[in-house]
Amino acid sequence: MRLLLIEDDDRIAGPLIEGLGRYGFTVDRVRTGADGLAASSADLVLLDLGLPDMDGLDVCRSLRATSPVPIIMITARGEEADRVVGLELGADDYMAKPFGVRELVARIRAVTRRTGALPAVPPGPEATPPVPATAPAAQTTSAPQQLGPLHIDRRTREVRLDGRDIALSPREFDLLAYLAEDPGAVHARQQIMDTVWDPHFFGPTKTLDAHVAALRRKLGDAAWITTARGVGFRLTVPGDPSPEDTR
Ligand code: CA
C-alpha cells in the first residue's frame, strides 16, 4: 500500500517513514502542499495541516475535489477547529500529534476498511470489488493476562501482583503491557519508544530507563525486566528459566 505523506517537518517525517516501512507501507513524502497536489496518486494521504506554502485545509479541499483518496490529517494540539473543518471538507480521520506509529497504522487500516480503499485499481466496470483491509487491526486483548504472580487487565488498565494492586502511571502501564505482549522476547529500545512513546521522539531515551526503573521498583523485583545490553528490554517472570543471562 502506497502512502503519500505531505509533511514539511523532517523530524516528524523521518521516523514516520521508517516506522511505517516496518509495517510494510511504502511512503512517498513531499514537503509542500503544491508538491502534494502534484504528486502521483497514492492509496492514502497523510496530510499535515501546518505546511509552509499553503493551508493544509486548502490542500485537503483540492485533493478531495479531484480524488476519493482517503485522507488522514495530522494535526497539532490546539487545532480542534481545523480538525472539524477538515472532516467537513472530506478528510476521513485525523491524528493529533504526538502519536505512535502503531496507533497510526490502526487508523490507516480502519480508514481503509471504512472507505473500501484499494491499492490503485483503475476505475471502470471491470474493476475488482472492494476487498477487506489487508490485515486485521492491532489485536485488542481484552482478556486479563496472567504471568506468574502478575495480573494485567488491559481493559481496566489494572495490574495486580500476588493479588495486590500496583499503582502505575499511564505510561508505566503502557510500557508493561507492551513488554507483556511477548514475554521473554527482547524489545528494542527504538521499537519501545515508537510504540509506547511516539514515532517522533528525539533525543536521549533516558525517559525509557527511568520508566523501567520505576516499574522494577513497583514490581518489587528488578528481575521482572531484564536488560539486553545495547539492544533493549524484556519481561520475564522472576525465577523462570531464562534462555540466556543478559542482565
Ligand atoms: Ca508542519
Neighbours of 196 (CB within 10 A): 23
Q: What is the signed CA dihedral for 32, 36, 37, 42, rounded to 10 degrees?
A: -170
The whole-chain average pLDDT of the chain stands at 82
Q: For residue 133, what pLDDT is reported?
A: 44
Of the candidate CATH numbers 1.10.3720.10, 3.40.50.2300, 3.40.50.300, 3.90.550.10, the domain formed by 2-115 belongs to: 3.40.50.2300
**Strands 2-6 and 26-30, how do they pair?**
parallel
Q: Choose between 122 and 50: higher pLDDT.
A: 50
Q: For residue 139, what pLDDT is reported?
A: 42
Q: Distance, CA 211 to ligand 1 centroid (Å)?
A: 30
Q: Distance, CA 7 to ligand 1 centroid (Å)?
A: 6
Domain segments of the chain: what residues?
2-115, 145-235
* CATH code linked to domain 145-235: 1.10.10.10
Question: Percent of the chain beyond pLDDT 90?
Answer: 43
Q: Distance, CA 53 to ligand 1 centroid (Å)?
A: 10
Q: Distance, CA 62 to ligand 1 centroid (Å)?
A: 18
Predicted TM-score (pTM) of this structure: 0.50
Q: For residue 154, what pLDDT is reported?
A: 85
Q: Distance, CA 76 to ligand 1 centroid (Å)?
A: 9
Q: Distance, CA 31 to ligand 1 centroid (Å)?
A: 9
CB-based contact 195:100 (threshold 8 Å):
yes
**Strands 71-75 and 93-96, how do they pair?**
parallel
pLDDT surpassing 90 at residue 34: yes
CB-based contact 49:80 (threshold 8 Å):
no
Q: Distance, CA 50 to ligand 1 centroid (Å)?
A: 4
Q: Which residues contact 145 (CB under 8 A, 6 or more apart)?
A: 151, 152, 153, 154, 180
**Burial grade of 132 (CB within 10 A; 0-12, 13-18, 19 or more):** exposed
Q: Distance, CA 1 to ligand 1 centroid (Å)?
A: 24
> What average pLDDT does this structure show over 44-69?
93
Q: Where are the beta strands (DSSP E) in 97-206?
A: 145-147, 150-153, 158-161, 164-166, 187-188
Residue 44 to residue 228: CA distance in whole angstroms? 38
Q: Distance, CA 227 to ligand 1 centroid (Å)?
A: 37
Comparing 2-115 with 145-235, is the CATH topology the same?
A: no
CA nearest to 48, candidates 38, 40, 64, 59: 59
**Mind giving me the DSSP string for 174-200?**
HHHHHHHTSTT--EEHHHHHHHHS-TT
Q: Distance, CA 202 to ligand 1 centroid (Å)?
A: 17
